Structure 1
Amino acid sequence: MTDTKKSSGRSGLWSRSIVRSSEIRILAVALILSAYFEAANHDFLLTGASLQNLSQFIAPVALIAFGEIMLMIGGEIDLSAGMVFAFAPFVMHFAHEAGLPAGIALLAGVLAAGLVGFINGAVTVYLRIPSFVTTLGTLFFVNGFTLTISRGTPVSPPESAGFAAFMGAWGYSEIIWAIAIAAVMHVLLRHTRWGLHTIASGANPLGASEAGIHIRRLKLGNFVIAAVLAGFTGILEGFRISSIDPQAGGNQIMFLAVAAAVIGGTPLAGGSGTIIGGLIGAAVLGILNDGFTLIGINAFTFNMILGAAILAAMIFNIHVVRLARKGEL
């Protein structure tokens, strides 16, 4: 009888952990959607071109989502990420045109993106301006600056076949970058003091501050991380399509990244979130986008489904957290 109770207890604990796990929930949704679209159109997963297109949609959204997740956990957001996405590749281009090697030029682009993140963080943290307002301002400024220095004209990334393939020109290089960075960011968030303090400060800012956690430093650093990831993603995309476009990215990719974070289990109110959830959330968006295209449903319907998915994810996550706190799960 005792063994039966223990077995039942272990089973109940296992089932509760599955219900609470945002990664498992969203992974189940991704698998169900994949099965549905594969049944509707056998070209969905069985052709290399389809898988490559899917990976190229997922990777940039996921990479920007990782930075947004770090900010959202702490109750902040970066609306300028899509503009930094377009800005960093131009800095790389002009640095390379000035005579710097491709690798150093790329580093210059990433550092320029980091500078934008530092400004976002400094204004938000030290001047106590809401990040929504701060990054809305830098969104317009960076967009205007990029259009000014580029004169609204696309340019080419550094011409180096091996370097370009490593950075994004090969069909699957972006998704490899996304998976590798996801692993690093997961360790940062879950197994380092920086990540654990970020979660603690988002969940209880007053308690974290009283415990000696430097909340301002964390937020400032996470703004830099978010901008660096956005800029690096723009550089990868520039190499992938062999063109650097001042109109690339924009608000569309930023909102897709935020949607991936929310669908993956990161609430806008902060206090929790997972990098792996963001990666799977981006995969769900990619599956929906590719699946709808293959079965002939237009982009307007995709936006409707995306909006519904965000609302459903938020409602579900909020109620799961409430039930968990009450001990009902």
Structure 2
Amino acid sequence: MASDTELRAVPGTEPRRAAGSGLARALLRRRELSIVLVAIAAFAYFSAGSYGTAFNTSNNYHILMQYLAPWAIIGAGETLLLICGEIDLSAGFTYTFVPFAFMSFYNQGLDVPLSLVLAIAVAMGIGLVNGLIRTVFNLSSFITTLGMGFFLEGMTYIQSGAEPTTPPIAGGLADFMGGWRWSELVWALVIIGVMQVALSYTKYGVYAQASGGNPLSAAESGIKVNRVKVATFVLTSLFAGVAGLVDQVRVGSFDPTSGGNTMMFMAVASAVIGGTALLGGSGTVVGTLFGAVLLAIIQNGFTLSGVSAYAFDVVIGIAVVAAMLLNVYISRLRRRYLR
């Protein structure tokens, strides 16, 4: 009778086991694995239901894009901030304010392109102020950006007179800024792709994760932690401003009641559901995209199936907690099998 050693030496046996083990390890390394599987399951469920015919149409896919694109764009910035151990509660109000900053410049006689550039500069300035207050005065980002959110909300109503306005953007520029049917989705995918590459393959990504995971050790190793955080606040506000311009140009109206806390919470929920750790140090921008996809599928599916809109908030609450629990479980598996 062959010994255990001889059995393990049978050609073909060990490679198959190694291949299976290698696949499991590869899957565990993907932080966004769980949310991808859940998103696929949700898509399959609504596609196969009695409302599947209405769900699987080009028009409905466009509606899904309208939901997920601004959440994913702002969520990209929130993901980077969460990885740094910070958060921006003013991002939804930046989304609303920047289009009216653009209108303010335009009404002063500046042309559309210059007004857009200055509005984007305003968005970045908001992030710069948030970052400097956080790092120079060591005030928590929660308090800093909460105050900024109230400030921007008030400024939006002052500038707009609490009335919506039609954006003076037309032609090819309008198509580029959101007027084309799928341009908002292209904006989201480009931003997500660029920031995931930056997070995974550049020094900025390493510094951001180190700054959030262990700020003291990062500083002692020579990383300018405060500079990294200020830069990330600027990026988050930039993305929020871009999302506000692109999304509201698509709608054809700058609305002072749009965005706000709802937009911010959906962006943060996308990041958290996508696997970003609230305590900092880890996360992926791609995971945030899939988090936004899942939330868009659920909201759209509920609408088609006639479920009350109030139930959507219940599902979001459950999804955030469930996602965190699942991520904790997968993290434990990762530590156990990837040692």
TM-score (norm. length: structure 2): 0.93
- In 2, Cα distance between the equivalents of 1:86 and 1:23? 30
- In 2, Cα distance between the equivalents of 1:19 and 1:289? 29
- In 2, Cα distance between the equivalents of 1:189 and 1:139? 27
Structure 1 counterpart SS, 2:32: helix
Aligned counterparts, 1:294-313, within 5 A: 294-313=304-323
User: Counterpart in 2 of 1:258?
Assistant: 268
Question: Would you say the 8 A contact 1:182–1:279 is kept in 2?
Answer: yes
Matched, 1:39 2:48: yes
Q: Which of 116, 119, 123 is the matching residue for 2:129?
A: 119
* Structure 1 position 95, deviation (Å): 1.3
- In 1, Cα distance between the equivalents of 2:180 and 2:54? 21
My pick for the range that moved more, 42-51 or 144-153, is 42-51
* Structure 1 position 229, deviation (Å): 0.3
- In 2, Cα distance between the equivalents of 1:328 and 1:199? 19
User: Counterpart in 2 of 1:139?
Assistant: 149
Question: Would you say the 8 A contact 2:167–2:249 is kept in 1?
Answer: yes
- Structure 1 stretches of 5 or more lacking a match? none
* Structure 1 position 328, deviation (Å): 7.5
- In 1, Cα distance between the equivalents of 2:215 and 2:169? 48
* Structure 1 position 202, deviation (Å): 1.4
User: Counterpart in 2 of 1:103?
Assistant: 113
Question: Would you say the 8 A contact 2:104–2:159 is kept in 1?
Answer: no
Question: Would you say the 8 A contact 2:25–2:337 is kept in 1?
Answer: no
My pick for the range that moved more, 243-252 or 316-325, is 316-325
Root-mean-square deviation (Å): 1.5
* Structure 1 position 64, deviation (Å): 0.4
- In 2, Cα distance between the equivalents of 1:188 and 1:227? 17
User: Counterpart in 1 of 2:228?
Assistant: 218
* Structure 1 position 93, deviation (Å): 1.2
Matched, 1:189 2:199: yes
Q: Which of 249, 252, 256 is the matching residue for 1:242?
A: 252
Larger Rg, first or second structure (1 or 2) = 2
Q: Which of 27, 31, 41 is the matching residue for 1:18?
A: 27
Aligned counterparts, 1:29-68, within 5 A: 29-40=38-49, 41-68=51-78
Amino acid at match of 1:12: S
Matched, 1:201 2:202: no
Amino acid at match of 2:257: Q
* Structure 1 position 150, deviation (Å): 1.5
User: Counterpart in 1 of 2:300?
Assistant: 290
- Structure 2 stretches of 5 or more lacking a match? 1-9
Among the aligned pairs, what percent are the same residue? 41
Matched, 1:28 2:28: no
